[in-house]
A and B are shown apart, each in its own frame.
Chain A
């Protein structure tokens, strides 16, 4: 498909386990974002990649959370020693990067995937 793809769609794990959530962005989109949406809340920013590098990881709640994007396309969000409070829908989005001047750019419209619902028992 041409949209943002996230796997798994649903993941149930036990407290203390390690999980990986995968995001496959729209082809050609250099910007990639992870958001977390807890029950009854709006999505909250976790991390933003521009190419392979994390340009802003200020939203990651603690050092149990880590994300990579080694080839500038697919990204994996990794959660160690999961806790019940980590239960949420993890949304990924991607966007084009638009050149707007020398050494400057801005991001276009964000396209979201359908999310990965993580349940920690």
Chain B
């Protein structure tokens, strides 16, 4: 079974500053995906960034980037130039890639407990 650990229940950052959220995971799988999701008070989970384990290059999406350390099973999220709208819960998640076969191969997300990020003006 996979586990995802987010060791920072809460973080805060000043507007325009940079913040890094930590995530570690445990798995015996070699092929998998890692995700960061944002959950604002509206409760809707919004995909922030995605990393495929077989890709060595760290994923980036505008102000969001990850530091993926496969050997250490670490997957941190860096938010640059923080904005007030970034205030939300952030969840790290794991999805096994699995063997593609009839019936689908990858679908089950395992989430961490989340980090509440507050961006202060």
Which residues of A are interface residues toward B (Cβ below 8 A)? Answer: 31, 33, 35, 40-45, 48, 50, 55-56, 59, 89, 91, 93, 95, 97, 100-101, 103-107, 109-110, 112-115, 117
- Within the complex, the shortest CB–CB distance from B52 to chain A, in Å, comes to 12
Residue of B nearest to A33 (CB): B107
- Within the complex, the shortest CB–CB distance from B1 to chain A, in Å, comes to 11
Instruction: Let me know if B104 and A97 touch, CB within 8 A.
Output: yes
Q: How far is the CA of A26 from the CA of B28 in the complex (A)?
A: 33
Instruction: Let me know if B45 and A43 touch, CB within 8 A.
Output: yes
Instruction: Let me know if B104 and A107 touch, CB within 8 A.
Output: yes
Which residues of B are interface residues toward A (Cβ below 8 A)? Answer: 4, 42-47, 50, 91, 93, 100-114
Instruction: Let me know if B43 and A114 touch, CB within 8 A.
Output: yes
Instruction: Let me know if A56 and B102 touch, CB within 8 A.
Output: no
Chain B residues with CB under 8 Å of A55's CB are: 103-104, 107
Instruction: Let me know if B113 and A107 touch, CB within 8 A.
Output: no
- Within the complex, the shortest CB–CB distance from B102 to chain A, in Å, comes to 4
Instruction: Let me know if B113 and A50 touch, CB within 8 A.
Output: no
- Within the complex, the shortest CB–CB distance from B41 to chain A, in Å, comes to 10
Residue of B nearest to A41 (CB): B113
- Within the complex, the shortest CB–CB distance from A3 to chain B, in Å, comes to 8
- Within the complex, the shortest CB–CB distance from B22 to chain A, in Å, comes to 15
Partner of A107, one of B43, B106, B111: B106
In the complex with contacts A42-B91, A42-B114, A110-B109, A31-B104 CB distance below 8 A: yes
Q: B105, B106, B112 — which one has the most chain A CB atoms within 10 A of its CB? A: B105
Q: Sample 12 A-B pairs with CB under 8 A, ordered by A number.
A: A31-B107, A33-B107, A48-B108, A55-B103, A59-B108, A89-B43, A97-B104, A104-B100, A105-B105, A106-B104, A110-B109, A114-B43
